Amino acid sequence: MDTSERLDERSQEIVDALKSGAVVTLLNSGDVIIGTRDDLSPSARECYRASMEHNLGHQAQCADCLEDEIYNILMDAESHRADGNVEDANILEVEAAELRLRAARLRAAAK
C-alpha cells in the first residue's frame, strides 16, 4: 500500500468518526486524535457538529453559538482597535452588541 492509499483510509476513518458524533482534533504535528467527547452535553455536541458543517441556521438560533461568535467578533474588534482601525472596531462592537441582544432573547425564550 502506498502513502496516498493509507491517507485515504485514514481520511475515511475520520469522516466516519465525525458522522457518528466523535470529536476530531488535528494537532500541529499533523497527527489526528479521534475521540468521543463524553464530557460534552448533547446540545454542545450539536453545536460542535453545526460549526463543523457551517450550519448557519443552527448558529442563528443557538445562544451558545452566538456567544462564541460574539467572543470572536470582540477579539477581532480588539485587534482592529490595537491597529488603530477605530471605525472597524466600532462596527464590530455594534455587531457584537446586536448578537448579544439576540442571544439574550433566545435564552429568555428557552426558559
Alpha-carbon span 51 to 57, nearest angstrom: 10
Size of the site for Zn ion (CB under 5 A): 4
Alpha-carbon span 27 to 24, nearest angstrom: 10
Asked if residue 65 binds Zn ion (CB under 5 A), the reply is: yes
- Cβ-based nearer residue to Zn ion, 68 or 88: 68
Asked if residue 47 binds Zn ion (CB under 5 A), the reply is: yes
Sign of CA dihedral 12, 18, 22, 26: positive
Of the residues 18, 64, 88, 102, which one makes contact with Zn ion according to CB under 5 A: 64
Residues that bind Zn ion (CB under 5 A): 47, 62, 64-65
